[in-house]
Amino acid sequence: MTLHIDDNLEQADDGTVTCRHCGAVIGIATDMFRNARVRVSAPQEAGPSVRSDPRHFTDRDVVLRQTFCPECLVLLQAEIVPGDEPSARTRSLAVQA
């Protein structure tokens, strides 16, 4: 039996997280995006609604961080975050003991 995580990801009984589009292994329950591809670019690349220069609001560099399936490149996650911080959007499906 598999666990439907979202439209793009599912988890097998053994904890393996795979892409629902192509079946590529993305990670494991405790590290969902371990094998994912990450692209870092300017926040303005998120679309036309992101126009302001981040320097108007912060002294830190801000980036658009996108996470993709390593095989079919479907977008799994996107966030606009300070570039010197790890992902603020972490998920884990592991049971905490």
Residues 65, 78 contacting (CB under 8 angstroms): yes
Answer whether residue 51 is part of any domain. Answer: yes
Mean pLDDT across the chain, nearest whole number?
A: 87
Report which of 82, 79, 46 is spatially closest to residue 62, judged by C-alpha positions: 82
Domain membership flag for residue 63: yes
Q: What is the pLDDT of residue 87?
A: 72
Domain that holds residue 33: 3-82
pLDDT by residue (tens digit) across 46-56? 888 777 777 77
Does some domain include residue 92?
A: no
Has residue 53 been placed in a domain? Answer: yes
Whether residue 85 is predicted with pLDDT greater than 90 in this model: the reply is no
DSSP for 4-42, please give it. Answer: E-SSSEEE-TTSEEEETTT--EEEETTBTTTT-EEEEE-
Residue 22 — very low, low, confident or very high, per pLDDT cuts 50/70/90? very high
Q: How many domains does the chain have?
A: 1
| In-domain check, residue 74 | yes
Phi first, then psi: give them for residue 51, nearest 5 degrees. Answer: -110, -30
pTM beyond 0.75, yes or no: yes
The first and second tokens of residue 56, run together, are 């108007």
Residue 95 has pLDDT above 60, yes or no: no
Residue 57 within any structural domain of the chain: yes
